[in-house]
């Protein structure tokens, strides 16, 4: 008799980059940063949906959260922490690390870390650069993260891409500095190149069965935990459409958005998931340090 399929025992890291639809880097030429406060914010309702989905699947995740969002929605940060999830930093203002000077970058990551820790009452150990914007030209950023007190980064995408990527960097977690781990988002090595296998626009574009196969190959062939990511706006089919954007940007941002929530739900069912700090730093499942007084 056939037995029902079971989840692989290897746990993968589920991560969410907490930003709103109007803050994506591709919209920067069309939406002035000074206009952000005038835009309809939808991040709070989308995070509520994500938290409900994770609770339904008894799954905990890591939320790389913008300081800009946390400052305006501190209750959202507390809901993330109260749900047993890891709170991590996405910087303050969603500026690419590659566009900042060392001094500006230090101010951005330090400001975000302090703000998140003050709201959550617990340490923030992880950081992800907007648009995976740490690469060959700004490796000094790792020194800054270490000095700011971060324990790991997930800021390198080892693929060739027109907006980011460092295809020759290691595919799996490695110490980039003594005391600082870099945990790249997941790729599969095929045809002498790294294929994206970790979420974002690729997950929305590719057939679900192919995305599932890519992750399974990393788990079974490489015997490594995958790092998957998505954004709250990717489950929001009702978000406002930005007028005047070019066709390439429009396609990348909106393709298959209406299907993403259900695809994420299926992914949570098909694999075992956990938090970045537990999987890669070995923090206990009881969530390490209690909240500070």
CATH number at 13-280: 3.20.20.370
Q: For position 289, what pLDDT does the model report?
A: 42
Cα 138 to the center of its chain, rounded Å: 20
Q: For position 64, what pLDDT does the model report?
A: 98
All structural domains of the chain with their residue ranges: 13-280
Q: For position 170, what pLDDT does the model report?
A: 92
Cα–Cα distance, 123 to 104 (Å, whole number): 22
Question: Strand pairing partners for 11?
Answer: 272
Q: For position 130, what pLDDT does the model report?
A: 96
Q: For position 198, what pLDDT does the model report?
A: 87
Q: For position 168, what pLDDT does the model report?
A: 81
- By the 10 Å C-beta count (0-12 exposed, 13-18 middle, 19+ buried), 25 is classed as middle
Residue 58: how many other CB atoms lie within 10 Å: 9
- pLDDT tens for the 293 residues of the chain, in order: 444 455 556 999 999 999 999 999 999 999 999 999 999 999 999 999 999 999 999 999 999 999 999 999 999 999 999 999 999 999 999 999 999 999 999 999 999 999 999 999 999 999 999 999 999 999 999 999 999 999 999 999 887 665 666 778 899 999 999 999 999 999 999 888 888 888 988 899 999 999 999 999 999 999 999 999 999 999 999 999 999 999 999 999 999 999 999 999 999 999 999 999 999 998 765 444 433 33
Gyration radius of the chain over CA positions = 18
Question: Strand pairing partners for 229?
Answer: 15, 199
Q: For position 285, what pLDDT does the model report?
A: 52
Which tokens go with 48?
């509520």
Q: For position 9, what pLDDT does the model report?
A: 66
Q: Confirm if 186 and 132 have CB atoms less than 8 A apart.
A: no
């Amino acid at each position: 008799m056939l037995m029902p399929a079971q989840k692989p025992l290897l746990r993968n890291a589920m991560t969410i980059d907490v930003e709103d639809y109007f803050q994506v880097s591709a919209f920067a030429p069309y939406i002035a940063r000074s206009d952000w406060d005038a835009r309809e914010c939808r991040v709070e309702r989308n995070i509520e949906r994500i938290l409900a989905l994770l609770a339904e699947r008894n799954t905990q995740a890591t939320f790389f959260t913008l300081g800009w969002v946390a400052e305006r929605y501190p209750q959202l940060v507390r809901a993330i922490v109260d749900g047993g999830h890891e709170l991590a930093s996405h910087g303050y203002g969603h500026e690419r690390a590659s566009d900042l000077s060392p001094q500006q970058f230090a101010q951005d990551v330090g400001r975000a870390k302090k703000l998140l820790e003050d709201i959550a009452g617990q340490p923030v150990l992880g950081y992800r650069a907007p648009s995976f914007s740490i690469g060959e030209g700004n490796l000094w950023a790792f020194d800054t993260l270490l000095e700011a007190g971060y324990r790991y980064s997930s800021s390198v995408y080892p693929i060739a891409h027109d907006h980011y990527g460092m295809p020759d960097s290691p595919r799996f977690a490695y110490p980039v500095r003594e005391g600082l781990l870099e945990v790249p988002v997941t790729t599969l090595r095929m045809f002498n190149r790294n294929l994206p296998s970790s979420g974002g626009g690729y997950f929305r574009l590719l057939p679900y069965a192919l995305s599932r196969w890519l992750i399974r190959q990393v788990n079974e062939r490489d015997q490594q935990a995958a790092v998957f990511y998505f954004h709250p706006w990717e489950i929001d089919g009702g978000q406002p459409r930005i007028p005047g954007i070019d066709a390439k940007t429009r396609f990348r941002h909106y393709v298959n958005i209406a299907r993403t929530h259900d695809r994420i739900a299926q992914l949570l069912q098909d694999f075992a998931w956990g938090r970045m700090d537990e999987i890669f730093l070995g923090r206990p499942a009881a969530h390490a340090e209690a909240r500070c007084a």
